[in-house]
Amino acid sequence: MSDGGATQTQTQTQTQASSSAGGGSQPSRRGRSGRGRGEGGNGRGGRRGGGRNANPQPRDQAQPAPAPEVSTENAPESEPTNSGRRGRGRGGNRGGRRGGAVRGGTVSGTQRTFGGSLTTAADPDASDAQGLSADAPDFVPGQPVVHRGKQPAPKQKKPQYPLAPKSVAADLPTRIHEDISNGQYECVICSSEVLRPSRVWSCGLCWTVLHLSCVKKWFTSQLKKDDDTRSWRCPGCNSSLTEEPSAYHCWCGKDINPRNVPGLPPHSCGQTCSKPRATCPHPCPLECHAGPCPPCTLMGPTQSCFCGKHEVTKRCTETDYGNGWSCKEICGDLLPCGEHFCATPCHSGLCGSCEIPVQARCYCGKEHKEIPCDRRDDLQMSFNYGQVSSSDSEDISEDSWFDGSFDCGATCGRKYDCGLHDCEKTCHSQDEVPAHCPSAPDVVLHCPCGKTPLEELLEQPRQSCQDKIPHCKKTCDKILSCGHQCMDTCHTGPCNTCFQKQDISCRCTRTVSKTLCHQGEIATPMCFKVCQAQLNCSRHKCGERCCPGEKKAMERQAAKRKHRQQQAPDEVEAEHICLRVCGRTLKCGTHQCSQICHAGPCPSCLEAVFEEISCACGRTVLQPPQPCGTRPPECRFDCRRAPPCGHPTVKHNCHPDDVDCPKCPFLVEKACICGKQRMKNRPCWLEEARCGLPCGKKLKCGTHTCRKECHRPGECEDADIPGSHCAQSCGKTRKSCDHSCQDSCHAPYPCKEDRPCQSKTFVTCDCQHRKKEVKCMATKTNPTPDRDILKCDDECLRLQRNQRLAVALNVDPDHNDDHIPYSDTTLKLFRELSHTWAQNQEREFRVFASEASEKRLRFKPMPSFQRAFLHALAEDFGFDSESQDPEPHRHVSIFKTPRFVAAPKKTLAQCVKIRTDAAKTAAAAAAASSSAAAAASAPEPFNALLLSAPRFGLTIDEVESALANHLKAYNTLSFTTAFLPSEEILIRAVPVTSWGTTPSAIESSLASLKPLVARTVTKDGIAAAVTMVHADANLNVLRREGTSANGSSGGWNAVVGRAAAQRRTIAPKP
C-alpha cells in the first residue's frame, strides 16, 4: 500500500475515534479537507472538504512535510490533469469541478496527511467560537456590520502533488503509453491533454495521437477547400491521407470503441497486435500498442546457399527472403557439355552453356581451330590419309585416326580409288580406304536417263571410268522438283527448267487459271472474293481476300444448321481462328482481357489491388491485397448523405455511390408544371407534379387551343411545327354547305372552298323510307351539287299500302302484341350469356339484314356456346349459318337465303321481358285460384302475427330484441321472424314439441299475445299494425284476420285481401 493509502487509513481511524468521543463529530467531519475516496478535491470527499470548510485550521495541527512545488499553470481546462485522476471512479472529474485542489496553483507532496482538527472539551478556541460573546457589537438595521478585531488564523495549505515528467522511454509506443497515462500527451490541434478516457485517432505514418473530435473537425475543414481530390493533410506530419477519421478503435483496429481497462495500456484492446510486417512473415507478437511495431526478433528459416553446399539460420531481420544468399565459393556443377565444371562463384539460377575454349578439328581434317565447347557438333572418327597439316599444334601422325567435331564447309577433294576423279562432297568424316569411283564401268550400267542398258548402245563394254557414257534417244522422264517429268531427250547432268503449263487454283479454289510451271515453288494466285465467314470468337469476320478456309467454313456452317438439334461440335478451321487480343473491359471495369479473342464471357480479372477498398462512408475497409474487381464491402453503419430537399434523412445503411438513397417519403405541396394548380400531398421525390387538366392556351394559329394535358411552358402541341399553323383540323364552318372544314389548320389563310366538301350527308327517297349516305361535294361555286335521287322500292310501296290499309281500318300503328318471333333456345341462350355481348351480336345481325347489298357476314372466332347462340339467332332471322375452320380459329358465317324477308321487329330484350311478364301473370292467376280453393275449404287456425308497414331500414334483430320479453313468456312455442316480399314482417309460432300443443291452443296464445305486441310496436315505431294470420311452412300467408271463414267476402275481395301487398314508395327525406 502506498503512503497516501496509509495516511488515508490513519485519517479514517482518527475520525472514528473522534466520533466515539462525541465531541462534535458532524461539524468536524464536514470541515475536513481530504477525507473520503480522493484527497485534495480529487474525489467525493475532496468535494465536500473543499466546498464547505469555512473554518481555518490552527497552525499547531499536523502539517504535511514540505515538498518541492511543480507549476501547473499551463494545464488546460478542457481535459483534467493528472492531479485530478487520483482516487477511484469519477472522482477526478467531479472533484476538479467543485472543490479541492485549485487549478493553476501548486500541488505539493506525494503523501496525503490528516489536515483537520479534533474538537475536545479542553479547546478554548473551539468553545469560544461555538458560544456567545459579551463584547459583540450591537446590531443596527441598515448599518454596516462591524467585525471584531480578532485576527483570523492563517489558512491551511492544501496538499500539493507533482506531475509526472514526460516519458523518456527508448521506443515510441512506450512513450505514447506513459505520456497518455500521466496526462503529458497533448493534442496538436487543441493543445489539450490526451487522456485514457478520451476518444482518439492515430496517424498511420507519423503515429501522432489526436482527439477524434478534433481530427474530424480538421478533416471537415480540409474537405471544404476547392480541390477535386478527396485527400487531406495530417496535422502532425502534413502527409496526404485518404482515409476518413470516422470511428474510435484500439491501436490494432480489432476492437471498436474499446473500454478503458485498468492494467492495459491506454486505448488498447489487450489482444495481440498481429499487424503484418512488410519484409517479414511473422506478425507483431506484442500486445495492442500505439506507434510502429518493433523490428522482428525471431529467427528466420534455415536457408541454403545457391549452390546448396552450405546452410545458415539468421535473425528474421537479417534474412533476405527475396534474393537468397551466396557462399562465394566456386559452384562446381557439371556443365551441359558433360566434360567441364562451372567455375563461377556460387550464383542463382542455372549455370548456362559451357563457354570454355577447346581445340577442335573438322571432319575432313583440313581445318583446326579453337572454338567454345558448346559450339562443337557430335564427335565422329575420321582417318588421316595425309590431309592433316603438319604445322598444326596437335600431333596427329599420318595413317591414324582422329576425332572430328565440326563441319568446315569445304569440298572434300579426296581422290577416288581410280585416282583420276575427286570427291565433290562437302566436309565429311574420312574412311581408311578411298571411295569407289561413281563413273567406274561396274557402276554405270545404263545410259544417263536409266532406260537403256549400255550393252544395247555400245559394241564393246567400257574399260575405265574415263570412257564416254553414250546417250539413248528416249525422253528423260526424270521426276523434276516440281513433280513433272523431264521432257528432254536422254542427257548428262541436271535436267533443265520445266516449261509445262498447268492449271492453278486460287487459294479459295473458286477460280482456276493456266500458267507455266513454277518449278515446285507454286505462288498461288489470289482472287478478289472477300471471305465473310465468322471467326471462332463470334465477334469478328474473316475479311481476308481469297481465303483458303472459306469453303470449309461454309461446310461447317451448313452442318451446324443441319444438326442444330443434335448440337454438333463446332470445330473451326485454322484459318478462322481469331488471333486478335480480346481487349474487352473485364468485370472489374479497370483492366482489359488479354486473352486471344474468344466467344462467351471473359474470365475474372487476375490482377490484384494493393489499396484499401472502403465503403462510401469510409467506416468499413477491406485491407489489401484484394482481387481486382472486388466491390466495396457492405457497411453496417447508417448512410450520412444529406438529402437535397432538406428533409430528415430516411434511416438506411451505407451504400455505394451508384445506388440512390431511398426516396424522400414526406408529402409536400407542389405547383403543377403548367402553373394552374397547387397540388397537395405530393411525394417530395416527385420532380414534376401534373394536374391532368388540358393546357387550353391559344396556339400559334390563334384559333385552336392546346389539348395536351399539363405540361411545361413552351411544350404546347404546336411547339415543333414551323409556321403559324397547328396540327389540328381547321373546324371552321364552310360557307357553301355549313359543314366543318376537315383540312388541317391553315391559319391565317381562309378555307379553300373551291375543293368539294368531303363530309357525309344523306339522300332519301320520296317516302323517306330509304336512306343513303353520300359525300357532300359542295363547293363555293356549286353549293348545291347534283346528287343521285333514290327511288322507292317494293318495300316502300308495301309500307305505303299498309299505312293506307291501317287508316282505312282505323288500326293503331303503335299497336304491339305479345307475339315472340324467337325460339325458346334463342331466348334461353340470351339469358345465359352476357346481355351486352348478345345485344351487340343482335345489332350486327340487324345491320346485316338492313344492307341489301350484303350477302355474307363472318364473325370472329369464339367459343362453342357463343357460336350456338349465333346459329339459333340466324335460324330466327331466316339466315343460313355454318361454322368454319378448326379450333381455336373456328368461327360462324351467315348467309342470306330466299326465305329471308326482314329482321324481327322486336328485339331479344323485349321478348324476354314479354315472356317474364307472362310468367308473372300466370303465377298470379295460379295463386288466385289456389287462394280461392283455400277460401272454399274450412279455415285453419291462426299461427302467426303479421306486422304491417314496418319502419324503413328495420332489421330482424331489432324486432326480436324489442319483442323478446313478450315472446319468452310462451315457452311452449318457438317464434320465427322473417321479411315477406310484400315488405311485411311475419312472426310464425311453432310448437317446441310435436305433442301437447294443438293449433287452436296456438291461436289462443297468439290472441293473448297480440295486444302486448301491438302496444310495443306502436310505442317504438316498429310497425303500424299487428294482425293474426295463418302461414304455411314456406311463409306464404294463406289467411288473414278479418277474412270470413265461409267465404262470404269471396270473389275479387278475397283475392285482393290474400295477395301480396304492393311495393310501397318511400319518399326521400328533405
Which of 134-148, 224-238, 601-615 has the lowest average pLDDT?
Answer: 134-148
Taking residues 405-432, report their average pLDDT.
Answer: 89
Task: Give pLDDT tens digits for 891-903.
Answer: 999 988 877 878 8
Task: Give pLDDT tens digits for 452-468.
Answer: 898 888 888 888 888 88
Which of 379-388, 463-472, 943-952, 1050-1059 has the lowest average pLDDT?
Answer: 1050-1059
pLDDT bin (cut points 50, 70, 90) of residue 1044 is low
pLDDT bin (cut points 50, 70, 90) of residue 1046 is very low
Residue 56 has pLDDT above 60, yes or no: no
Quote the pLDDT of residue 935.
56
Convert 145-170 to b/e letters by CB count within 10 Å (16 or more is b). eeeeeeeeeeebebbbbbbeeebeee
Quote the pLDDT of residue 969.
82
Average pLDDT, the chain: 79
Q: Is residue 550 within 8 Å of residue 508, measured between CB atoms?
A: yes
pLDDT bin (cut points 50, 70, 90) of residue 738 is confident
Q: Is residue 177 within 8 Å of residue 289, measured between CB atoms?
A: yes
Task: Give pLDDT tens digits for 293-312.
Answer: 999 989 988 999 999 899 99
Quote the pLDDT of residue 558.
85
Taking residues 441-461, report their average pLDDT.
Answer: 87
Task: Give pLDDT tens digits for 85-107.
Answer: 333 333 333 333 333 333 333 33
Task: Give pLDDT tens digits for 398-410.
Answer: 888 888 888 888 8
Quote the pLDDT of residue 816.
60
Residues 6+ apart with CB under 8 A from 404: 361, 362, 363, 364, 365, 379, 380, 381, 382, 429
If 0-12 CB within 10 Å is exposed, 13-18 middle and 19+ buried, where does residue 24 land? middle
Q: How far apart are CA 40 and CA 100, in angstroms?
A: 4
pLDDT bin (cut points 50, 70, 90) of residue 871 is very high
Quote the pLDDT of residue 666.
93
Peptide bond into 434 cis (omega under 30): no
- Judged by phi (left if over 0) then psi (alpha if -120 to 50, else beta), residue 735 lies in alpha
- Which domains are seen in the chain, by residue range? 500-579 (no CATH), 824-914 (3.30.1370.50), 938-1058 (3.30.70.1130)
Q: Is residue 408 within 8 Å of residue 362, measured between CB atoms?
A: yes
Q: How far apart are CA 274 and CA 252, in angstroms?
A: 8
Q: Is residue 774 within 8 Å of residue 768, measured between CB atoms?
A: no
Task: Give pLDDT tens digits for 598-633.
Answer: 888 898 888 888 888 899 888 899 888 888 888 889
Tell which wins on pLDDT, 860 or 76.
860
853 vs 386, 850, 892, 893, 898, CA distance in Å?
128, 9, 20, 16, 14
Q: How far apart are CA 353 and CA 334, in angstroms?
A: 10
742, three cell numbers: 376537315
Tell which wins on pLDDT, 897 or 686.
686
Quote the pLDDT of residue 125.
44
Quote the percentage of the chain above a pLDDT of 90: 20
Quote the percentage of the chain above a pLDDT of 70: 78
Tell which wins on pLDDT, 150 or 926.
926
Highest mean pLDDT among 27-31, 223-227, 325-329: 325-329
- Judged by phi (left if over 0) then psi (alpha if -120 to 50, else beta), residue 543 lies in left
pLDDT bin (cut points 50, 70, 90) of residue 722 is confident
Task: Give pLDDT tens digits for 480-525.
Answer: 888 888 988 999 888 888 888 888 888 888 888 888 887 666 678 8
